[in-house]
Every structure is written in C-alpha cells, then in structure tokens.
Chains A and B, each alone.
Chain A
C-alpha cells in the first residue's frame, strides 16, 4: 500500500513538467526515504535524478519498496486536471497495474479521482558516485534559462568556462558568435538573485544546448540553479525543491577529437 498526500499539489505538476521533455517513460521508486526517480534520455547522454523526501509530504505511507513505470506525458495530462491550489493524493497498491490521483480543492467542495495505467519499464540504473567538482556556480534559475534560450538561437553548443573572473557561456553558429559573462554578485537585495562562483580549478567544457534548454523546464521549481563542473565528469544542473529534495540533471560533455 502506498499513499502520498501533498497539500502543495502544484509542486507535482512542476516536477513532471520539469522532466517530461527529457524522458517519456520512467520508473518511479517509492521507499521509506521518499519518492524518487532516475531516468536517462533515449540517447543515453543525459540523466535526470529526482528525490522528494518522505518528510516533505503531508502524509506518506509506503509499506514496501515499490517501483511504478509511468508515461510522463500521460501523468502530465492527469495532473493538468488538478487546480493549482488543489491537494493531491497519490495512491498505489502492490501488484496493481494502475495508480490513482485524487485532487481536492482547498475548500473541499470538489473532489476528483483519476486512475492511470502503469507500464512495464526496463530501466537501466547508473551508480552516481559523490564527487568533488572543480567549480560550482550558483545563479538565479531564470537567468540561466534566459542564457540557454538566447544562446540556443545562435548555436548548438555552449562552452561553459569558469575562471576567477566568473562564469562565461559562449556559443558559435552560422550567423555569428556570442559570449555572456556572469560575475560573482552577492550584493543583492534577495539571496535568490545572487550569483556565486566557487572555483577550485579553472574549467571549460562544451555541452549541447538542446539538453541545457530542456533542463531549464525545471526553472519554476527553484529560484536558484547550481551548476557543478569538472573536466572528468558530466555536468550537474541542480534545482533544489524547498524542504523536499531536488531535481538533478547530468549531461555528458562534448569532446573534440
């Protein structure tokens, strides 16, 4: 038996919208720790890891570890039927081939029930070791989204370079080239507007902008994004979900040969 109740139901909508651009089908795992997911895109270049900790839910019951294969577009269709202020309860049963979503309006005058078919998913899971990164950039998530969108209209790849001057995003395409430098800036009214650059070693890596733009679908989840870079590792683009967990995207770099 599995039962999860989330008063801030819109959060679940945002989570699904954040990842469905990258993966179509995914296996959600439920355990005492929380509701989690790890899925790779079809070309095995990018990976999304989601964690919603059990403590973040208003009610969390998970009697046994359970994996549920879901089509994210179908999930989005169901969740779109919930009002933005609705309370969402998610239920599943061992051995069942469906899950159910219940949406309650804040005043309890409308209650909707939806049942969604599960799917069999043969998912490959990767072990992601804890790592020390050469550089960690924290910046407003809307700013990062804007940069990826702007550069995406000029080129296909972005070079992200971190030096003690700040972080530079560069691209080159048929019509020309672009460089955007963001300097460390902590002198702001609100902490979420700050840009910080933590650098152990300078690093410069190239990534496909198509994937970066896909990651920015998670922007509504968090005011800040953390970009962790190391020349030996895929980049990690992390959106923290307040009091609940995170959505992390991993992307393998492009290399010159």
Chain B
C-alpha cells in the first residue's frame, strides 16, 4: 500500500 506523507514530518513549525 502507498501512504501519503504530510509536510510536518519534513518541515518544522515556526
């Protein structure tokens, strides 16, 4: 199965 990643895993909240 292919899952969609979210951006929070890559970029930090400011």
Contacts and interface: CB of A to CB of B under 8 A. Distances in A.
Contacts of A40: 7
B6 to A, nearest CB: 5
Interface in A101-157: 124-129, 157
A46 B7 CA distance: 7
Q: How large is the interface on B (under 10, 10 to 19, 20 to 34, 35 or more residues)?
A: 10 to 19
Interface stretch (A2-10, A13-21, A182-190, A246-254): A246-254
A40 to B, nearest CB: 7
Contacts of B8: 44, 126
Contacts of B10: 232-234, 252
A243 interface: no
Contacts of A250: 7, 11
Nearest to A250: B7
A126 B13 contact: yes
Contacts of A124: 13
A187 to B, nearest CB: 37
A257 B12 contact: no
B5 A255 contact: yes
Contacts of B9: 252
A252 B5 contact: yes
Interface string A36-48: 0000100111110
A129 B9 CA distance: 13
A44 B8 CA distance: 8
Interface of B: 1-14
